[in-house]
Chain A
């Protein structure tokens, strides 16, 4: 008999034996083990889940496969930022610590063991945006602590995350909820609407009703359906009143300090609007239940809106896997947000796993729209991880990241992040109804800046440079220099470190052509040339 029949027969015999005594059932043969993942596949997965695939991690991944790797990642302790920033002696001006905040961000990104958690925290920081640019420039502790909130909640529950974000003073300052007061008609004062608006538009439900697959619901006239109107905004604005810096002597005299910028805001009931509110989907809050209950009920109201699942699903898929997921992919991930399989709504850990383990994250048949453009900051971290980037001081004070790369940790120009989830460059992407958000910051200017930065990093800031400053971050490719005489070996080695071993023929040929012009004795320049051409290539900019 063939295997299927014998297995079925065994099953039926087992079932037949359920009612009473059982005979000895033939054990079905174990399913054959899946083929090992290739190095290229390992690199693909690690570029979705870390700050840059490296060969040593690829070897670990091949041994344990993706699901076990994810589970293992979720057990790693959280790498934090605030303890480091607080350990620095207080400088003359608080903003000087922003460099230290960015320093610890890089240390965690490059060397932290909790790579997946940090990658998800980075994704969350591009959704629930606060930024150093603006009023928070002088609050580096607040920004570090805010990022730690994202990291701690990356595999937790979305409802907990959204509450910690709402009450964090960094967000309170950034979107004006801190110090927001109930109305005063005599002075024509209304509650500030900033946080109410952006919480709904950008952090949770968006502007229009969505189906589970992320498509817009349409009314009888074929128009999209707004999720809220001005009255709803005003209601939520009235909910978000009465909160300010913790431990203040009075509501209006509350001032920022080093201590209160890292603890949740506190409520002053006298400044909270006590009236009734009407929220989403007609839900209403009664008058007089107090600011804490109002806030909790309001966040529940948003959390339970059916949009949140697809809204978050699309954004996490965008950040980790692909710019153009199929409706099916979005549905599957959104469904996990709605119910993680154990009846829990909002389980971000389950959602992240669903994003990464879905068949579409590693499609058997790739299309022209599989994958995405790597964010420029992640191209940098990938290069730095591959070539052991370090500095003589041990620091990575790269707080001008935003100006070089068009993005940097908590350095967005405004609450809409560095680029829009809906951006489509003109040409085939726009014509095809597709998006490529990361290309919004791939202007001629920024691309040139990044290419020039890579030129300087690779040819200049490397370990052969005798004139490095203490804080200069330099890479080490001395192992490649040993192979410099053999063109194929050299290219294979660099491609192995940066492209998972797969390099296109045109790129290989152009590199070989350039190497033919560089004397064999110039081992550093030869190695640098290969790295430079690969790191600035379209195929390196592409995340499979």
Chain B
């Protein structure tokens, strides 16, 4: 691989930024005329806010590797007998038998059945980085490592050393706008608030609550009712001219809310009434969000959807304290909700068309601060769905030694695979052509492997 001079890279970086921020250039590179997709695909981003301690989610299970893990993790290590063993099919060098956290039985089953995979030692990178590179500052690093909101932004936007107002899901939605012109709902939909992940130059994500869109009180479709006039009057107030950017911004959101609430709520109700989803979801925040996503997927025909990206998120992973008490519930909750979600996609008949994947601010320190862990860098992520090339671990799982060749200090590992490559692999499956993957993942060109191979075509 070529050694990259810092100055050269800055030039390239601003070119990448130009790709992202100059709509004309980026979008003329796209599909061209409005050829619609002929199939349906959906991505579901499950963001684990706070920084998931994922070296306790996916744990080495061979003697030497487990012992290194246990020695480093001390009071936070999972006892080896408690691990749920998994058997990755890959014979590539560096892949060894592993186990998942004892509370993740659902994930274990999905992995062993070939419908889930892990991507190991993954994190934001601008270019391939060794420990010497890091210590000598001879490569460009992503900015603000170890800071929550900045690393959430890194995963969501792939901004690297620069800044970004758009996320990689937002950029995908912008790229395919012309190809999905007949959709009745935005490509990007969230059941967990506004996120940089779905922010874009042009398209706007549709934000709902965990149970779907709210309806407005005091509005009616019945023309004989005064509430019909009220709705129209309310809309005309929103459509008036305003001198302030703030009034216009507010009116814009309110307008979208009024119009979309009707369309999407009707679609969800129809999905519920059809009885197609028989899976029962756990009554957790994540379970309810994924249940709503499943209903929206079930309504894809009614909403004329062909490409969807959902944003789902929960918090609580910032385990500075009480990690041993809290982690089983956290990881068990993720496992149960994702297992139910996969089952629902089977009910609907779209298991091969829907891919869920996790992101999280960062992995956490191998070392303990007494009863918990602190912010680190690389971690392990999970992908699941029928289209996943499952039952394997992608990337290079590190040796979990303090002071080892990937440790920048305190048991914080440099990623061996980049978030850009992760996103590009998912984008590729989603239908973004190879020439546009650099818009989605601006640092991708710095890495040899543009697709990590964890998706079946």
Contact = CB atoms under 8 A, between A and B. Distances in A.
Contacts of B410: 190
Interface stretch (A2-10, A146-154, A260-268, A421-429): A421-429
A189 B370 CA distance: 5
Nearest to B166: A426
A78 interface: no
Contact of B236 (A443, A506, A532): A506
B237 A538 contact: yes
B370 A193 contact: no
A190 B374 CA distance: 9
A448 B213 contact: yes
Contacts of B193: 443
B237 A533 contact: yes
B245 A432 contact: yes
A445 B214 contact: yes
B253 A442 contact: yes
B323 to A, nearest CB: 12
Nearest to A233: B146
Interface string B313-346: 0010000110000000000000000000000000
Contacts of A424: 165
Given A191-B369, A427-B252, A542 B237 contact: no
Interface string A432-460: 10101001111111011101100110010
Given A189-B367, A539-B242, A430 B165 contact: yes
A427 B257 contact: no
B324 to A, nearest CB: 14
Contact of B245 (A190, A369, A414): A369
A484 to B, nearest CB: 16
Nearest to A448: B214
B380 interface: no
A299 interface: no
Interface in B216-235: 216-218, 226, 229-230, 233-234
Interface string A166-199: 0000000000100111001001111111100100
Contacts of B146: 197, 230, 233
Query: Which of the four size classes fits the interface of chain A?
Result: 35 or more
Contact of B368 (A189, A371, A436, A442): A189
Interface in B142-178: 144-150, 161, 165
Contacts of A192: 320-321, 369-370, 372, 374
A188 B368 contact: yes
Contacts of B248: 428, 538
Contacts of B409: 230
Contacts of B200: 426
Most central of B200, B260, B370 by chain A CB within 10 Å: B370
Contacts of A416: 148-149
Nearest to B242: A538
A368 interface: yes
Given A368-B245, A427-B252, A448-B213, A420 B207 contact: no
Nearest to B370: A189
Contact of A425 (B215, B244, B249): B249
Contacts of A425: 249, 253
Nearest to B149: A416
Contact of A444 (B148, B165, B208, B218): B208
A276 interface: no
Given A444-B253, A445-B213, A542-B247, A188 B72 contact: yes
B247 A538 contact: yes
B254 interface: yes
B250 A373 contact: yes
B440 interface: no
A484 B105 CA distance: 65
B229 A429 contact: no
B170 to A, nearest CB: 8
Interface string B190-208: 0001100001111010111
A510 B236 contact: yes
Contacts of A135: 321
Contacts of B150: 207
A439 B320 contact: no
A478 to B, nearest CB: 22
Interface string A373-403: 1000000000000000000000000000000
A537 B243 contact: no
A288 interface: no
A283 interface: no
A543 to B, nearest CB: 8
A13 interface: no
B74 interface: yes
B237 A541 contact: no
A369 B245 CA distance: 6
A112 B150 CA distance: 38
A233 B362 CA distance: 17
A452 B217 CA distance: 6
B307 to A, nearest CB: 19
Nearest to B322: A135
B446 to A, nearest CB: 18
A448 B208 CA distance: 10
A253 B138 CA distance: 47
Contacts of A518: 226
Nearest to A504: B240
A511 B230 CA distance: 9
B181 interface: no
Contacts of B247: 538-539, 541-542
A462 interface: no
B147 A207 contact: yes
A439 B236 contact: no
Interface string A470-513: 00000000000000000000000000000000001011001101
A102 B58 CA distance: 42
Given A427-B249, A429-B245, A455-B217, A176 B315 contact: no
B246 A436 contact: yes
B216 A542 contact: no
B372 to A, nearest CB: 8
B126 interface: no
A114 B75 CA distance: 51
B375 interface: yes
A444 B261 contact: yes
Given A323-B246, A413-B315, A187 B74 contact: yes
A369 B244 CA distance: 6
Contacts of B165: 424, 426, 430
Contacts of B242: 538-539, 542
B374 A451 contact: no
A542 B250 contact: yes
B148 A538 contact: no
A426 B250 contact: no
A536 interface: yes
B229 to A, nearest CB: 6
A370 to B, nearest CB: 7
Contacts of A207: 144, 147, 150
Nearest to B147: A201
B250 A439 contact: yes
A466 interface: no
Interface in B396-452: 402, 409-411
A187 B366 CA distance: 12
Interface of B: 7, 10, 49-50, 72-75, 144-150, 161, 165, 193-194, 199-202, 204, 206-209, 213-218, 226, 229-230, 233-234, 236-238, 240-254, 256-257, 260-261, 315, 320-321, 365-370, 372, 374-375, 402, 409-411
Given A207-B150, A510-B237, A538-B237, 9 more contacts: A187-B370, A188-B73, A194-B320, A233-B146, A436-B249, A444-B207, A445-B208, A514-B226, A537-B237
18 contacts: A176-B372, A179-B370, A187-B75, A187-B370, A230-B146, A413-B315, A429-B245, A436-B246, A447-B254, A449-B209, A506-B237, A514-B230, A514-B233, A536-B234, A538-B250, A538-B251, A539-B247, A541-B250
The 5 A-B residue pairs with the shortest CB-CB distance in the complex, in nearest-first order: A444-B257, A443-B207, A506-B240, A448-B214, A538-B247
